[in-house]
Amino acid sequence: MPAKLFNPSSEEPFVLSRSRIDNFLECRRCFYLTNKIGIARPPSFPFNLNNAVDELLKNEFDIYRERKEPHPIMIENRLKALPYEHPDLEEWRESLRHGVKRSHPETNLILRGGLDDLWINTETDQLIVVDYKATSKKGEVSIDADWQIGYKRQIEFYQWLLRGNSFDVSDIGYFVYCNGISEKDEFNNILEFKTKLIPYKGNDSWIEPTLYDLKETLMKDEVPVADPKCSYCSYVKKTLMV
């Protein structure tokens, strides 16, 4: 079933996912066309291997969650934490249909996002937002590249959602970053990874002004101009010139 389109005259709250917020920050024209006109960007190619790594990590951390024991990566990094237990955790992980939801009455929006994992700091009792990432590259993985700003916004958005549900959330989140090792002589049906735990101090102060800006954009009658850096809009523009 296609997502509902924004109707300026409707009193019903409009639901937006984390990825749609990212869409707005990347290109207001694409966001407007998707949510008000019904013309969405072409779907991206599915990252099936990355999804498989995500599922395996969830299964692995769930084992330690059930045992109420720290995962080895927590011990290795001297992190005083445990996988967090909550009856709604599986629903919070379901990004397509559920996720963590937060109402924003000032804009009449409902925001949602499906997180990968939650840990709890055993010293402060604060929740820790955790995001799984997978890649294959030479050298150490990091979150320092300009294009990884979206990764950081993910952590911050999940922190904001949880705080809106009255949870005490640490500013420090973590990326469990798995790097596939390609420097092997043979495959033997085994893909090995080197996993690194990367801390990130989030700041969700950008979210509130973004929501007001986003709602104002949706209320307008005219389609916004394209972002000069938007590859989708650039492609459409060039095809029209052929």
Residue 1: the pLDDT is: 37
Q: Residues 128, 176: contact at Cβ < 8 Å?
A: no
Q: What residue segments make up the domains of the chain, in order of their start?
A: 14-241
Average pLDDT value for residue range 38-44: 88
The Cα-based distances of 18 to 96, 203, 241 in angstroms read 11, 16, 34
Q: What three-state secondary structure class fits 69?
A: coil
Is residue 242 over pLDDT 70?
no
d(CA 109, CA 216): 12
d(CA 222, CA 44): 27
The pTM score is: 0.93
Is residue 35 over pLDDT 90?
yes
CATH number at 14-241: 3.90.320
Q: Residues 22, 210: contact at Cβ < 8 Å?
A: no
